Amino acid sequence: MSESMDATGNQQSTSPVLVGLSSLKVKFDASDNTQSRALFANGRMQVKVQVLVAGVDADGNAVHVPEDVMESIQLIHYATGKTLRNGWAASAAQGRFTREARPAPDALDRYDDDLENDSVHPQVRTFWVSSSSAGTTEVGARLSLNGERILSNGTTPASVHYSSVTLAAEKPETYSVFQLYQNRIGNESPGNRIWKYHLGLYPDGKQIRLVDWVVEGAEEGENLDFAGGNRLNEIKTNYMKCIFVRPEKTSVTVTLPDRGDPFVYAFTGDAQTWNHKHYKVNTQSDGELTIVQALSEYSENTGAQKYGNVLYFIAIDEYGTGHKLAIRVNFYERNLSLQRG
Q: What is the DSSP string of 258-297?
A: ----HHHHTT-TT-EES-EEEEEEE---SS-EEEEEEEES
- With a cut of 90, say whether residue 32 has pLDDT above it: no
- With a cut of 60, say whether residue 147 has pLDDT above it: yes
- With a cut of 80, say whether residue 173 has pLDDT above it: yes
- Give the confidence band of 287 by pLDDT, cuts at 50, 70, 90: very high
- With a cut of 60, say whether residue 56 has pLDDT above it: yes
Per DSSP, the three-state class of 10 is helix
- The whole-number pLDDT of residue 30 equals 80
Q: Which of 258, 337, 340 is nearest to 294 (CA)?
A: 258
Which tens digit of pLDDT belongs to each residue from 215-270? 999 999 999 999 999 999 888 899 999 999 999 999 999 999 998 765 665 556 67
Do the Cβ atoms of 315 and 210 come closer than 8 Å? yes
Share of the chain above pLDDT 90, in %: 74
Q: What is the mean pLDDT of the chain?
A: 88
Is pLDDT larger for residue 180 or for residue 121?
180
Angle at 226 between CA 291 and CA 196, to 5 degrees: 15
- Rounded CA gap, 247 and 229, in Å? 24
Length of the chain: 341
Average pLDDT over residues 171-187: 93
- Give the confidence band of 176 by pLDDT, cuts at 50, 70, 90: confident
Average pLDDT over residues 201-218: 95
- With a cut of 90, say whether residue 336 has pLDDT above it: yes
Average pLDDT over residues 150-177: 94
Do the Cβ atoms of 341 and 311 come closer than 8 Å? no
- With a cut of 80, say whether residue 152 has pLDDT above it: yes
Q: Which of 92, 173, 174 is nearest to 126 (CA)?
A: 92
- The whole-number pLDDT of residue 312 equals 98
- Rounded CA gap, 257 and 268, in Å? 15
Question: Range with the lowest mean pLDDT among 114-123, 189-198, 242-251, 319-328?
Answer: 114-123
- With a cut of 60, say whether residue 11 has pLDDT above it: no
pTM: 0.81
Answer yes or no: CATH 2.60.40 is held by domain 14-170: yes
Sign for the CA dihedral angle at 154, 159, 165, 169 comes to negative
Do the Cβ atoms of 224 and 244 come closer than 8 Å? yes
Average pLDDT over residues 297-315: 94
Domain boundaries, the chain: 14-170, 178-340
Q: Side-chain half-sphere of 310: how many Cα atoms within 13 Å?
A: 8
Is pLDDT larger for residue 4 or for residue 174?
174
H/E element, 4 = helix 2-13
Phi, psi of 80 (to 5 degrees): -110, -20
Which tens digit of pLDDT belongs to each residue from 110-146? 434 444 443 447 999 999 999 999 999 999 999 999 9
- Give the confidence band of 14 by pLDDT, cuts at 50, 70, 90: low
Do the Cβ atoms of 40 and 173 come closer than 8 Å? yes
Q: Side-chain half-sphere of 91: how many Cα atoms within 13 Å?
A: 13
| E strand segments, 70-177 | 74-77, 88-91, 123-131, 135-145, 148-151, 165-170
User: b vs e for 87-120, b when ≥16 Cβ sit within 10 Å of the residue's Cβ?
Assistant: ebbbeeeeeebbeebebbeebeeeebeeeeeeeb
- Rounded CA gap, 46 and 38, in Å? 10
Write the CA distances from 206 to 102, 104, 244, 319, integer angstroms.
18, 22, 24, 15
- The whole-number pLDDT of residue 261 equals 64
For residue 184, give every residue at least 6 positions away whose Cβ sits within 8 Å of its Cβ, in sequence order, or none. Answer: 193, 194, 195, 196
Which tens digit of pLDDT belongs to each residue from 65-102? 999 999 999 999 999 999 999 999 999 999 999 866 55
H/E element, 55 = strand 47-56
Kindly compute the dihedral angle of the four CA atoms of residues 113, 115, 118, 119, in this order, to the nearest 10 degrees.
70
Query: 231 burial class (0-12, 13-18, 19+ CB within 10 angstroms)?
Result: buried
Do the Cβ atoms of 152 and 23 come closer than 8 Å? no
